[in-house]
Structure formats: C-alpha cells, structure tokens
Amino acid sequence: VVFLCVVALSPTSPLVAPAGLLYFLYCAPLWRRNCIFIYRPKFDNGGLRWPFLSDVCITSMIVGQIFLTIMMSLKEAYGAALLAAVSIGVIVYFRMEFRHRYLRAYLDVSLLQTSLLDGWDSTDPLTFKEREEFRRFLVDSHKAAYIPICIASDTTSILTVEPALTIPLDSDNVNTMAPLVGESPGELSTPNNTRGGYKIPSTLFSSPTQGRKRSVVQVGASLRRCSNVNPFIRIADEEEQSVNSFGLHNIQSYHAE
C-alpha cells in the first residue's frame, strides 16, 4: 500500500516521495531481520511470491497513470490526459504478455534456486576473507533461527550440530587468510584442533572431498517440496545394516579362531 501511494501520489504531491523513502529506510532492515530470523516456511513454495510482487508494481503504475489522467483532465490539458490514458493500455498489454511468457518460470524458480545460480558465471572469484564473512552471516542466521527449536525438541538436527567451514581454495593467498576469527593458518588444516580443552569439530572436514561426502547425508538443504516420508529412514537403515554386518563378521572370526 505504501509503495502504491508513493508511485501514484508522488507526481501530485512531491512530499509523499521523501516520506515513503523514510518509511522504507526504517522498515527494510526490520523486514530482512524477520525473513532471516523469524520466518520459517513449512516447505519451499517455489516462486509463488514473484507474480504477486510484479502485480504490486503493475498496479502501482496503473493507479499512478489514472491519477495523472484525472489531474490533467481537471486542468483541461486534454492532450497530456490522452497520453496518460493511452499508457494504461500499454501497461496492461505488457502485463498480459510477460505473464503469458514468464509465469511458469516465476512459479518454478524460488529464492533457493536463484541464490544457487547467483554468480555462477562470475569471472572474479571471492577471496577467502569475503567467503569467511559470508559464512559468519549464514552461521549467525542459522543459529538464531534453529537453535531454539533444537533446544525445545528431543532430537538433535545434523544440520545444526555440524558447523560451517570456509574451505581454502588453490587460488587463495595464504598470507591474507589469517587470522580472521582468532584462528591461525595452521588451525585451518589441523585435523584435531582443541581450544580450551574442547575439541573443535569444524576442523574435522578440512578438505573439499570430505565436505562433499558430508553434504551427501545433509538432506535438509537439498529438498524442495517435502513429502510425508522421513528422509532419515534410509540413513538409519544403512547404519543398522552396517552395524549388523560388523557384528556378524566379528562372530564369524571368533568361531574361526
């Protein structure tokens, strides 16, 4: 509603524009905070919000042109009023065309998929420091969103227990990699790092190969539309089968001796 008022009433009352700017400057950080820390959707609904956002923009433009047409007509500027009225038809035709062409793409592409595609063709790779800062942001958001749920629940989540790790690349400069979080470059490759008598599990996965092996069992980030089937049943069955086979092997070796 505020965006519609800003677009529609700004030509008539210029004071609406700075008032709307102050409103968005105050509310935009709050909305981002709510989306990151509070909003927990039940499932990934795809691009269901994109058509609504485009309709908000189109509706604001149409209402603005209607107000402009009425204002020009009251001032007896019929030529300007006619041009403003003709542009309404152009906007409506544009909306029909792009919905016919891009509606399926809107409904199929969600923020998760677009974030994965963001920067895939970038020729300027991020430095280790930039990746580390982005990792801190993701970890803080993840903790604030899911740790209260893990405390209240009886079971622990594998996605919350395992910490994130910035994996060094071959193109990184070793001299600019440390210390970022009170860590030295040696701690990035130490297999069993301890700090204050507590074993830090983030150094257990210090190679990209181990990180890829770990991502195979992390099913939460790769699911899109979840069914009522428990995705951890397969993993539990495999673990039980491996335990049983290990016990059977020990029994056979004991009888052989």
Give the tens place of pLDDT for each residue, 11-65. Answer: 778 888 888 888 888 888 888 777 766 666 655 566 677 788 888 889 988 988 8
Q: Are 15 and 5 in contact (CB under 8 A)?
A: no
Q: Does the pLDDT at position 184 exceed 50?
A: no
Higher pLDDT, 133 or 220: 133
In the chain, pLDDT over 70 holds for what percent of residues? 45
Helices (H) and strands (E) in the chain — how many of each?
A: 10, 2
In sequence order, which residues have a C-beta less than 8 Å from that of residue 100 and are 6 or more positions away? none
pLDDT for position 245: 47
Higher pLDDT, 166 or 148: 166
Peptide bond into 168 cis (omega under 30): no
The overall average pLDDT reported for the chain is 66
Cite the DSSP H helix spans in the chain. Answer: 2-9, 16-33, 49-74, 78-108, 111-117, 128-152, 158-161, 185-189, 208-217, 232-256
Q: How far apart are CA 139 and CA 162, in angstroms?
A: 11
Q: Give the highest mean pLDDT range of 3-12, 20-29, 98-107, 246-255.
A: 20-29
pLDDT tens-digit map of 204-220: 344 445 444 544 444 44
Q: Does the pLDDT at position 147 exceed 80?
A: no
Reading the block at residue 20, the tokens are: 């709307």
Q: How far is CA 219 from the centre of its chain?
A: 16
Q: Does the pLDDT at position 255 exceed 60?
A: no
Q: Give the highest mean pLDDT range of 43-47, 97-101, 131-135.
A: 97-101
Higher pLDDT, 231 or 40: 40
Q: Are 65 and 84 in contact (CB under 8 A)?
A: yes
Q: How far apart are CA 213 and CA 51, in angstroms?
A: 38
Q: Are 144 and 193 in contact (CB under 8 A)?
A: no
Q: Give the highest mean pLDDT range of 8-12, 96-100, 102-106, 201-205.
A: 96-100
- Average pLDDT rounded to a whole number, residues 59-74: 89
- Average pLDDT rounded to a whole number, residues 213-239: 42
Q: How far apart are CA 41 and CA 155, in angstroms?
A: 20
Reading the block at residue 225, the tokens are: 């539309």
DSSP structure class, residue 240: H
Q: How far apart are CA 18 and CA 21, in angstroms?
A: 5
